[in-house]
Structure 1
């Protein structure tokens, strides 16, 4: 007998979706391989009552909340394939088990691919971050760098200027910033370096300087870096339409273009990647699932 809903992903979106469905007396199986995108994050911010919480502690409290509801089952396994036949979804795990569900919520988030820079992983999550709204407060008034070859780099710099006026931009060998944008940045005292980065220098994950390939040295205390964001392929494999931002297109309740498939969290957009937003989207997707199950039953 298929469960009412299978949730793929045990981050804030998946956990909150499970909570709402459990409270709605729906049978739920949540697949969580405990490989979060924010594994390097020391603290999570922007979630009222949980500001500064460690991700592992957030997960522990969430599991504690969910355990109250007997219709929720958590599986420590990785989904490798999802098939649909006659309105029933079959989920195959890495361990070779199969499970059936009437509806599925994809809360798989995104995989981060950092630029290929010397020692970049040592600094990421300690002095280099990707979201000013998540970590800008800790970086306030410091000498910062924005390392990015992405088209949105100008927008990123303008955002970070809210927290620190002492900024430089390194595009690591790309000429992505227009002359007009460079002029606007220079008017704010923000230089742009287009040379390739030779190395990052610092100790214990705390950035001290950036050395460019022409041996230019730039002293910095931290900053922002732009990873590439790679979504899981389940949505596309099932035929879900994508949006202009590279995520899966959904309505206000997480419904995709494929009946029975819902998406919540970072997988819907590469633009906003925050704990509280993902949890809220999990809530809405769960309400969408429950509403559609009720409609099916009538």
Structure 2
């Protein structure tokens, strides 16, 4: 069978793309091996009618809706290779399947690499977060730690100041703030600690203490960190697409990459606010582009 479109990645971008293409009567193979980046998150926020939903429940509802359309098939398999064909692409999977398609959308998103601090994985997604818009409300007015150890730290600190005035900034031994920035923060009553962090401590995912290499510690009930973001840039050599800032796939405003027939949606196509609503919108727009490109090809036959 030759599919109209294969979608690699079953997050909000891929699922919304599948929904739009299914409603356009397109045959779709959605590949998703059930390893979403937000699986450690207790809830997703900022999406109207779904504010506070757990990622697992979001996926359950999304798949119920998407698979109502008989031309959409869910392949719970991992894509291991993509081969460009004269017209379209061939997808190879871990289970040995070979699937051919006219168009291809990559929506596999980003990987997070957390700071190398003891205990961080015990708290991430429960009391330590990365996005103030996603989780700032839940930590409002609490005593928070901000691990500002990367470029952009000052912006994030200013942003968090509107959710809580009780902030302590830890640069974790890095020179992430200028002298002028540190002076302004201190003027606002925000303490800056430059000593490297030894560990995060607490129970049941709830932070209560940050320990430093010099033996000192501070009491905090939650906080925000700055992960490193890496694109899941699988198949870049096979497909030969151009990249943009931070390794994202370079696309036009409609989601087309520099490789004919290959598109990208969600975090794969841009590095910005990593929220469900942004990803879903990107998937919808890219799917409309795919359908329109298919229409143009078919109508001109």
Q: How many residues align?
A: 298
Give the Cα separation in 1 of the matches to 2:109 and 2:64: 22
Give 1:234 deviation, angstroms.
3.2
Return 5+ residue gaps in structure 1 as ranges.
none
* Cα deviation digits, residues 259-293 of structure 1 (max 9, x gap): 11111111122321000110000000100100111
Is contact 1:185–1:191 with CA below 8 Å preserved after alignment?
yes
Q: Using structure 2 for the length normalisation, give the TM-score.
A: 0.96
> Which shifted more, 242-251 or 129-138?
242-251
Structure 1 residue 173 corresponds to structure 2 residue 173: yes
Is contact 2:148–2:154 with CA below 8 Å preserved after alignment?
no
Once the two structures are superposed, the pairs formed by residues 202-221 of structure 1 within 5 Å of their partners are 202-221=202-221
Structure 1 residue 272 corresponds to structure 2 residue 273: yes
User: Counterpart of 1:224?
Assistant: 224
Q: Using structure 1 for the length normalisation, give the TM-score.
A: 0.97
Q: Secondary structure at the match of 1:234?
A: coil
User: Counterpart of 1:106?
Assistant: 106
Give 1:24 deviation, angstroms.
0.3
Q: Secondary structure at the match of 2:162?
A: coil
Give the Cα separation in 2 of the matches to 1:99 and 1:182: 55
- Segments of 4+ moved more than 2 angstroms: 234-237
Is contact 2:88–2:103 with CA below 8 Å preserved after alignment?
yes
* Cα deviation digits, residues 61-95 of structure 1 (max 9, x gap): 11111122111000000111111121321111111
> Which shifted more, 83-92 or 18-27?
83-92
Once the two structures are superposed, the pairs formed by residues 182-193 of structure 1 within 5 Å of their partners are 182-193=182-193
Give the Cα separation in 2 of the matches to 1:189 and 1:267: 39
Structure 1 residue 87 corresponds to structure 2 residue 87: yes
User: Counterpart of 2:21?
Assistant: 21
Give the Cα separation in 2 of the matches to 1:246 and 1:141: 36
Give 1:235 deviation, angstroms.
5.9
* Cα deviation digits, residues 215-267 of structure 1 (max 9, x gap): 22111110111111121123633222222243112222211111111111111
Return 5+ residue gaps in structure 2 as ranges.
none
Q: Secondary structure at the match of 2:36?
A: coil
Alpha-carbon RMSD:
1.2
User: Counterpart of 1:241?
Assistant: 242
User: Counterpart of 2:137?
Assistant: 137
Give the Cα separation in 1 of the matches to 2:153 and 2:240: 31
